[in-house]
């Protein structure tokens, strides 16, 4: 049985805060993408990249707080659909990997004489990983609330 989106939203108790964090994370990623695509000849380019990267780390940290923990989105998700434990564990592991990637890129930005290509390549990889993470999260939520296989509640 497939539930309508409004029924899924009604079951999704954190529907007000979780999408806000997703939007903030997306906005921070878009800002980083925009600044890394700007001309690197501008003397402020590395400073702007560092600022956008710090904003992304902050948004990612807020996302982790909103999703992990005893009252986070993932706990709610598992309360409704325990069969998704493996998927949730994968998303949690990705959080750690994403933070490591953000921190590694931040270190690169602060290296003397770093080439813009290195920053752009690492930034593109980070943003691709983040986009995949966001999609896997959306897929997991859809699987939990839009598909009813029965017998779990």
* pLDDT tens-digit series, residues 72-82: 999 999 998 99
For residues 111 and 153, give the distance between their C-alpha atoms in angstroms, rounded to a whole number: 53
**In Å, what is the CA distance from 153 to each residue of 11, 70, 88, 148?**
12, 19, 18, 10
Q: Look at residue 122 and tell me if it is in a domain.
A: yes
* The two three-digit tokens of residue 62, written as one number: 């807020």
What percent of the chain lies above the pLDDT cut of 70?
83
Quote the mean pLDDT of the chain: 87
CA atoms within 13 A on the CB side of 12: 23
pLDDT for position 149: 59
Provide the greatest CA pair distance for the chain.
60
Provide the domain limits for residue 85: 18-146
Contact between residue 40 and residue 47 where contact means Cβ atoms under 8 Å apart:
no
Please state, in angstroms and rounded to a whole number, the distance separating the CA atoms of residues 135 and 143: 12
CATH number at residue 34: 1.20.120
Residue 12 inside a domain? The answer is no
Per-residue model confidence (pLDDT) at position 69? 84
- Number of structural domains (the chain) is 1
């Amino acid at each position: 049985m497939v539930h309508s989106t409004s029924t899924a939203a009604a079951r999704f108790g954190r529907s007000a805060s979780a999408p806000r964090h997703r939007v903030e994370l997306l906005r921070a990623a878009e800002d980083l993408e925009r600044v890394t695509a700007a001309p690197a000849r501008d003397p402020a380019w590395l400073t702007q990249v560092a600022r956008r990267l710090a904003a992304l780390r902050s948004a990612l940290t807020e996302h982790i707080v909103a999703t992990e923990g005893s009252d986070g989105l993932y706990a709610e998700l598992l309360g409704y659909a325990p069969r998704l434990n493996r998927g949730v564990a994968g998303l949690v592991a990705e959080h750690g990997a994403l933070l490591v990637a953000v921190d590694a890129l931040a270190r690169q930005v602060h290296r003397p004489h770093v080439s813009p290509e290195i920053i752009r390549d690492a930034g593109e990889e980070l943003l691709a990983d983040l986009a995949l993470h966001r999609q896997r999260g959306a897929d997991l939520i859809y699987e939990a609330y839009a598909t009813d296989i029965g017998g779990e509640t």
